[in-house]
Amino acid sequence: MKFCVCIKQVPDVQASVQTGRMVLNAYDASAVEQALVINENGTDEIDLILIGPASATETIRKALAMGASNATHIVMENVADLDSSAIAHLLAESLKGSNYDAILTGKQSQDSDSGLAGGMLAELLGIPYATNAVGMEATADGLLVTRQGDTGQEMLVLKAPCLVTCSNDMNNPRIPSLKGIMGAKRTTINTVQAGPVGTPKTKVEKTFPPAGRAPGLKMEGEPEELVAQLITKLQQEAGAI
């Protein structure tokens, strides 16, 4: 199958937002991995598309190193000013008229967690879609998708062309090999400037780490002593009993 995977560069959620370290969105990495698994023994290409600043090239090459074939970088420095609607419109403009069997996205991005862009993109392209996929395999004319619903799992058959948003519960993305890393460095990335962007419907004013909390209390001693100390604190300090 011919896939296009929409990827995004996001702040590293494993570190403080103030470090400025940027990484490949984890949900998008799972989407890339699943496309690679489905095409493991095939010759069809897996293309990538990313909207982001010039510095996002490193993130694109990370996904290329996993095994993707080609990449398009829509350069926009102030991508943080875009909301899901603006992102979907930019992607739709770029993908309009393409002949992909399936477009994959992460179910959400680690920075906003809104989970809206994939569904909006499918609507703009006029193709069927499934969200929050935890399993996916190719059929004769499309994809069989297992998605996690509110009350259980559902199985959907989508005819190509279609769009699927992928959960990071779907798989464990591979670690790029040395051969993949060297190949990604040699791959030419198609770079284009972002076109006109409509007025975003939402705006992020600022990002900041959560407030710190006082460390927990550690008590030591014999069990009988600890129980007595705990009861005293619950009575006198917490007022719980």
Q: What is the DSSP letter of 54?
A: G
3-class DSSP state for residue 192?
strand
Q: How confident is the model at residue 17, as a pLDDT?
A: 54
3-class DSSP state for residue 153?
strand
Nearest Cα neighbor of 23 from 106, 85, 114 is 106
Do residues 134 and 153 touch, judged by C-beta distance below 8 A? yes
Nearest Cα neighbor of 50 from 190, 196, 168, 165 is 190
Q: How many CB atoms lie within 10 A of CB 141?
A: 10
pTM greater than the 0.75 cutoff = yes
Q: Which residues contact 69 (CB under 8 A, 6 or more apart)?
A: 45, 46, 47
Q: How confident is the model at residue 6, as a pLDDT?
A: 97
149 exposed, middle or buried (CB, 10 Å; 0-12, 13-18, 19+)?
exposed
Domains and CATH numbers, the chain: 3-193 (3.40.50.620)
Question: Could you report the average pLDDT of every consecutive run of 10 residues in the chain (241 residues)?
Answer: 95 70 93 95 90 94 95 90 90 93 94 90 96 94 93 93 95 94 94 82 76 82 89 84 76
Cα 14 to Cα 16: distance, rounded to the nearest angstrom: 7
Cα 38 to Cα 33: distance, rounded to the nearest angstrom: 9
